[in-house]
Amino acid sequence: MSHEVITETTVGLLDGVSVAVGNVWERDYADAEGTRRAGMTARLAWTDMTGAEHWEVAGAGTLLSLGGSHWRVVAVDKAEGEPGRVTLRREAAADA
């Protein structure tokens, strides 16, 4: 499975979809099963193939559908004085 890391205030490319990462800090969010959690999160923003804009506050366990693929947030971390980063893993179709 493929892993990608996107640093805060930058844009990463996940299966042809540009994904921007910002606003990394601790707050509540929902994981892929809809369970409310508290932890380190990032705001992810992207535009799909139809031109529709999307954003999500994501933390560990969040599942995103991007460009026909599914990506799970593995970790969101931030060291003091440094930009945060999001680690995502491409999920196999059966895992999503």
Pair of tokens at residue 12: 């990463």
Residue range 39-61, pLDDT digits in tens: 999 999 999 888 899 999 999 99
Note the pTM of the prediction, 2 decimals: 0.90
b/e sequence 28-41, b meaning 16+ C-beta within 10 Å: ebebeeeeeeeebb
CB 2 within 8 A of CB 89: yes
Averaged pLDDT of the chain: 92
Confidence (pLDDT) at 96 = 53
